[in-house]
Each structure stands twice: as structure tokens, then as C-alpha cells.
Amino acid sequence: MAERSAIEWCDGTVNFWWGCTKVGPGCDNCYAEDYNNFRGNKQWGPNTERREIKGAPALIQKMQRSAAAFQAENGRPLRIFMQSMSDIFDNEANDELRAKLFDHAAAADGLRIIMLTKRISNVAKMVPAAWRENWPRHIGLMVTVVTQREAERDLPRLLELKRLFGIPWVGVSIEPMQEPMTLRDLRVGKFLLNAMTGEWSYMHRMMLANLPERLPGLDWVIVGGESGKNARPIHPEWVRKLKRECEGRAAFLFKQWGEWAPDNDLHPAVRANFIKRRVEKRELNRDPSAFASVQLEIMTMYRVGKHAAGRTLDGRTYLNFPMGLQ
């Protein structure tokens, strides 16, 4: 729980409980679990009781009281990330705690609340019935996916929730990115879905003519690399591809390179210093598949740490937000 946050896409965080369970490759090097273990707590994994954070209601109420002053000073609303140290839609979480979170989140309408989950299939059955009829206009929903397979499984679910519940904005967090991905023309069973526009191909729209309206598209795409001792690097072209797909369609935010910096994004003097210091480096193929027959766009990645790696892509910083957060 924190009143202010160093996370690039929010101003503060609120956690009503502590603890979670790993559910995918993006969880392999979880920062929250590492911190949990460092403190000697035991809130991680299945069949483990989550720990209530009793000060959360008072904190979000304090944020609500300061929202107008923040807006006046900064010209934008206060952005709050709910449950940065867990997942709201975790099966192991206590239903009473979750209900308390929903009540306080709905009441804090001066804030712009960001809910992020890896368990998108739980949302419809866990949110309050009133939200299914009238989703709070100050709350947006995001899903974390880090592989193409996860995107094809979870983004159609997210877009359908937006349509059904009238969620004001939805987004995807691709962090830590694990492989090259596309958000256009996702293969969903027999069908093709463009997640940026929420549109099916013409043939499949005809086959699905009983849908009441076209699915709304994504509003926000966050991309980031991994930090920490076991961090895995990301290729610059993976990030560039998603940035191009977002142009004119969705707000794009590049959060960080993480532990590894690409050779082409380093100042020559900085690169020379790293080479002199013999920092660890890795040659990363644009196509990381073990079955890749051609070596394309090999990029030298230097393990320099999150701060030194920075967050510029081809010399530019991308820190864009959807309309619902502006």
C-alpha cells in the first residue's frame, strides 16, 4: 500500500490485501512475491491465506479528499492502481475483502482507478451485480498478457466485458514481454479478431451477425521489459511493432527496458563504458523461437540495470494515456 508510486503509469497504489498465486510466465520473477519473501511473510501460493491491509480504506478516502486539489495543480486526475501487490480477481482472495475493495473503489469517484488482472475470466462472476448493470465511469480495466497465446485467449474476453458492462476504457499490459506479439488479427478459434478495433474480419462478421454490435477496441497498450536478478531481455523490434499497431488506434506507453538495454539505444560513450566494464551481454534474435531458420536483426543487449537502461525507444519517450485517464 502506498500513497505515491514510482510506477510510470500511476500516481499511487492502494492494496486491500497482500498475496497472490502465480498463473503464467509473466509471474516467473514476480517483484511482489520477492518483496513478500524478503519480509518473511507467507501470503503466496495456492491454499494460502491473504493478509488484510487494514489501512487501505482510510488511504483511498484520503486520496479521494485530495483529488480535487491534485486536479487543480496538475490539470489531470489522480491515477490510482488498485492491488499492485496482488490480483483483485484472485480465486484465493477473501470475498468479503473483495467486496470492501469494490465498495471503496466505487465511492472514490474523484480518482481515476486502474484495475489490472491476469484472471480476466473471473471478472464477470466476481464484480458486484450493480457494476454489471452500471460500471463506475471512473474505473478502467486492464489485463496482463506476455505471450501471443495469452493475448489470443484473454483480449477477446476483455473486449467482450467492455461491450457487455459498458466499461469506459480497457487496456492491456504486456509486461514483462516474453516474445514478439501482435494485437492485430488475433486468431480466436476459427475466427480473426483485430483487438485494436474490436472488429472481426468481414467473413466472420457475417458468420457472427447475431452479435448486437461490433466489439469496442483497446484504448491503452503498456509495454515493458523485466527487471530483477533473473530478468529476460526484450528485442527493440518487438516494441516497435506494437507501437506501430497503436498509431491512430490506442494510447501507447513504453514503461521500461528493464534490466537489459539494447545496443542501438545507448549513447556511444555509455556503450564504450559498459564494454570496458565487461558488463554481461546477450545476443538476442528478433525471432527467439528455437526453430527459427534465419537469424534476423540480432541485437546486442547489455545488462546494465533498470535505471541505466531507461525507457526511451529510438531516442523518444512514449508516455501516452487513454482519454479516461487524462
Please list, in sequence order, all residues whose beta carbon lies within 8 angstroms of the beta carbon of residue 128, skipping any fewer than 6 positions away. Answer: 99, 102, 106
Rounded to two decimals, what is the model's pTM? 0.93
Q: Is residue 249 part of a domain?
A: yes
Whole-angstrom distance, CA of residue 13 vs CA of residue 17: 12
Q: Is residue 193 part of a domain?
A: no
Whether residue 150 sits in one domain with residue 245: no
Please list, in sequence order, all residues whose beta carbon lies within 8 angstroms of the beta carbon of residue 113, skipping any fewer than 6 positions away. Answer: 80, 82, 105, 136, 138, 139, 140
The residues that bridge with 284 in the sheet, in sequence order, are 299
Q: Is residue 269 part of a domain?
A: yes
Whether residue 229 sits in one domain with residue 167: no
Of the residues 116, 147, 171, which one is the last residue of a structural domain?
171
SS3 82: strand
Q: Could you tell me which of 24, 30, 113, 31 has the C-alpha nearest to residue 64?
A: 113
Q: Is residue 198 part of a domain?
A: no
Whole-angstrom distance, CA of residue 168 vs CA of residue 96: 26
Whether residue 257 sits in one domain with residue 118: no
Q: Is residue 191 part of a domain?
A: no
Whether residue 11 sits in one domain with residue 42: yes
Q: Is residue 205 part of a domain?
A: no
Whether residue 9 sits in one domain with residue 133: yes
Whole-angstrom distance, CA of residue 216 vs CA of residue 218: 7
The reported pLDDT for the residue numbered 37 is 67
Whether residue 115 sits in one domain with residue 30: yes
Q: Could you tell me which of 141, 140, 11 has the C-alpha nearest to residue 77?
A: 11
Q: Is residue 137 part of a domain?
A: yes
Q: Which amino acid is at 318?
A: Y
Whether residue 224 sits in one domain with residue 166: no
Q: Is residue 199 part of a domain?
A: no
Whether residue 31 sits in one domain with residue 58: yes
Whether residue 179 sits in one domain with residue 151: no
CB atoms inside a 10 Å sphere around CB 94: 14
Range of the domain at 316: 175-183+218-326
Whole-angstrom distance, CA of residue 261 vs CA of residue 299: 10
Per-residue pLDDT 10s for the chain (326 aa) are 456 778 899 999 999 998 888 888 888 877 777 666 656 567 777 888 888 999 999 999 999 999 999 999 999 999 999 999 899 999 999 999 999 999 999 999 999 999 999 999 999 999 999 999 999 999 999 999 999 999 999 999 999 999 999 999 999 999 999 999 999 888 887 788 899 998 877 666 666 555 545 567 999 999 999 988 899 999 999 999 999 999 999 999 999 999 999 988 787 887 888 888 888 999 999 988 766 666 678 999 999 999 999 999 999 999 999 999 99
Whether residue 250 sits in one domain with residue 158: no
Whether residue 274 sits in one domain with residue 224: yes
Count of domains in the chain?
2
Whether residue 136 sits in one domain with residue 179: no
> Exposed, middle or buried, 296 (CB in 10 Å: 0-12/13-18/19+)?
exposed
Whole-angstrom distance, CA of residue 224 vs CA of residue 146: 10
Longest distance between any two alpha carbons in the chain, whole Å: 64
Of the residues 150, 171, 192, which one is the last residue of a structural domain?
171
